[in-house]
Amino acid sequence: MTQAATDTSAERTVRRRKADESGVSRTKLAVTLLVLTALLMVSATAGLAIGSVQVPPGQVWGIVTHALGADWQEPDWSRARETIVVDVRAPRVLLGAVTGAGLAVIGTALQALVRNPLAEPYLLGVSSGASLGAVSVIVFGVTLFGPVSLSVAAFVGALGSLLLVYATARTGGRITSARLVLSGVAVAAVLTAVLDLLLLTTDRGNEARAVLAWTLGGLGGVNWGTLWLPGTALLLGVGVLMAQARNLNLLLAGEEAATTMGLDVARFRARLFVLLSLVTGVLVAGAGPIGFVGLMMPHIVRLFVGGDHRRVLPTAALGGAVFLIWADIAARTVAAPMEIPVGVLTALCGGPFFLWLMRRDARRGTDRGVA
């Protein structure tokens, strides 16, 4: 009787401790999301204010609210400043937020799907495939699908490259993380070579310059009429991935464990690969191939919220949006009046991060081997 009472007491203590830890985790997540939301608002304000024409932050929000129809402030700004904020910078800031958030959640999902911490659209050849599809539309002037021809071609290229990488890495019915990354690098190299060949052989100088600028990644040239497509793709992607967060968590335990828990791994991966290719293609069509955002953000946010995808996905989305907005601000101001392609800056940040990640994983493997 005493032993039973002791066991019951111990079980209660364990349950209470788990409940306390869950409460602390939820509080930590809420605080993290609030901080990132505040940072996103500050970043958006900075993106609207900073540039060749400086606009005071208070005036920025006066212009924005006035454009939305709220006349709480008497206009004390020029028409030129209003045009700069509303028609030039606001679409650019929104595209940066949408693209950064989208790449971050895609990278998070891919790392879980292939169980490789180095996975992201750029490394697995998805961005290269999307780039080749979009560049083909620019070079050959294809308008089969009207104004969304670029996005459709980018999606087809992204899906085709991902399927090629998946088929190349699959041997004996299984896929290893090392083979997947190597296949992605190889496919990306081939697709990039084909893209460079298209660039070199095109006879029209204007198109060649447009392709070169686009392949380096950038947020310039966007307008309100083209923002709805990447915004819709982001909402679709985040919504589906949040609904599948539990299954992504199951994959982290391994394919056998996930199958035991009732998950059809092959079908689940195939469906998500199509979804991720669609979102990647739309984002690449709008902003070009911007690399390493999807590699860095998932690892950074896991340091704060843990590995549960119900927490990682929304946190990574906010973190990616903040990061890319500031990367674009730096691209516009570091070498002003010349603008640096934002993809160059993300690569300068992501390259060292990638090397650090490889060394960290190598050290962990060595430590496990010694142990």
pLDDT digits (tens, 9 = 90+) for 266-292: 889 888 888 888 888 888 888 888 989
pLDDT tier at 350 (50, 70, 90 boundaries)? confident
Q: What are the Cα distances from residue 170, in Å, to 115, 164, 180, 206?
A: 14, 10, 8, 41
Owner of token pair 């998500």: 272
Q: Determine the pLDDT at residue 88.
A: 92
Cis peptide before 230 (omega within 30 of 0): no
What percent of the chain has a predicted confidence (pLDDT) above 70?
A: 88
Least confident of 57-61, 129-133, 143-147, 292-296: 143-147
Out of 152-166, 198-212, 334-348, least confident range: 198-212
- Asked if residue 153 lies in contact with residue 138, where contact means CB atoms within 8 angstroms, the answer is no
Residue-level pLDDT at 310: 93
Predicted pLDDT at 180: 78
Q: What is the average per-residue pLDDT within 323-351?
A: 90
Distance separating alpha carbons of residues 110 and 215, to the nearest angstrom: 22
Residue 214's pLDDT is 73
* Residue 114 to residue 125: CA distance in whole angstroms: 14
Report the pLDDT value the prediction gives residue 205, as an integer from 0 to 100. 62
pLDDT at 16: 53
pLDDT in tens, 12-55: 544 554 444 455 578 888 999 999 999 999 999 999 999 888 99
Q: Which pLDDT score, from 0 to 100, does residue 1 have?
A: 47
Integer Cα distance of 90 and 86 in angstroms: 5
pLDDT, greater one: 123 or 302 = 302
Q: Which two structure tokens, joined as six digits, stand for 282? A: 């739309």
pLDDT of residue 44: 96
What b/e sequence results for 100-116 when a residue is b if at least 16 CB atoms lie within 10 Å of its CB, and e otherwise?
bbbbbbbbbbbbbbbbb
Does 363 score more than 60 pLDDT?
yes
* Mean predicted confidence (pLDDT) in 228-235: 92
Which stretch of 92-96, 211-215, 345-349 has the lowest confidence by average pLDDT?
211-215
Give the pLDDT of residue 367: 53
Please report the pLDDT score of residue 22 as a whole number.
Answer: 55
Could you report the per-residue pLDDT of 200-227, keeping only the tens digit for each?
877 766 667 777 777 788 888 788 888 8
DSSP state of 174: E
* Percent of all residues in the chain with a pLDDT value above 90, rounded to a whole number: 34
Give the per-residue pLDDT at 338: 85
